[in-house]
Amino acid sequence: MPAQAYTGKECVCQYKKGICDQSCVQDMLETPFYIACLKLKGRRALVVGGGEVGLEKVEGLLACDAGVTLVAPRAVPALEQLAAEGSITFHQREYEPADLDGHLIAIAATDDTDMNIRVFNDAEQRAMLVNVVDVPPLCNFILPAIVRTGPLAVAISTAGASPALAKRMKAEIAEAFGEPYADLAVLLNDARGWAKATLPTYQERKEFFEGIVNGDPDPIELLRAGNPEAVRDLIAGAQRSVAPA
């Protein structure tokens, strides 16, 4: 349920105003979010809700190697298939507070307002990360739009103000920062071990990599021209120039 559906009803967000006046939604635009990238491999995440939105959230968690538990009375065929192949754990029933046990993240993706509030309150009591889809006031973290290309990930957030704007920005960023940037990240990563072993200070390592990334010739232009070998030569030349005699 969108946040606007709570207008005039009992307030359920952290402000406890009695009757919802939507002021918490406006507050989201002024909230500075602490942007972090979570390492979910080996961690468990709970998704409550087996519809198309639940599927989207499950797929996003699986892409980050999370162990996913789905709780829902019913699930779309794609989720049933993921359960049948063992990719997720599926409890085909109503949500229970104990479902949160052992999980780092909870995402409520149902069309039942009362159920979403229960998940939020139960998770908050456990100091868990919790997100109620499309209801920013019932979230202690929000999910930005993500552009992924190889090892690169660019997050776009409008603080919940406009998913449509985030979608447009995602398309434009994907076009501007495509495969050449991902390829350069891989090539630079190959040199990280050498840099740590050879250059003793952070400042020296910083100057080494910035000299390559911002140097002449431009490594991005070389990769756009289909010439990764020239970039390898560029990195090798930079290594020779700073290596101890």
139-148 pLDDT, tens digit each: 999 888 889 8
Residue 32 in this model has a pLDDT that exceeds 90: no
| CA-to-CA dists, residue 172 to 30, 35, 169, 181, 185, angstroms | 25, 21, 5, 15, 20
Which of 9-13, 91-95, 157-161 has maximum average pLDDT?
91-95
How many CA atoms lie less than 13 Å away from 1 in the CB half-sphere? 14
139-195 pLDDT, tens digit each: 999 888 889 898 998 989 887 778 889 899 999 999 999 999 999 999 999 999 999
Residue 14 in this model has a pLDDT that exceeds 70: no
What pLDDT score was predicted for residue 224?
A: 96
Q: Which two tokens stand for residue 233?
A: 């030569």
> Cα torsion at 24, 29, 33, 36 (round to 10°)?
110
Residue 106 in this model has a pLDDT that exceeds 50: yes
Strands 129-132 and 105-108: parallel
- What is the spatial distance between Cα 140 and Cα 43, in angstroms, rounded to a whole number? 18
Q: Are 65 and 41 in contact (CB under 8 A)?
A: yes
Q: Are 161 and 28 in contact (CB under 8 A)?
A: yes
Residue 136 in this model has a pLDDT that exceeds 90: no
What pLDDT score was predicted for residue 1?
A: 46
Find the helix or strand (DSSP H, E) in which 29 lies: none
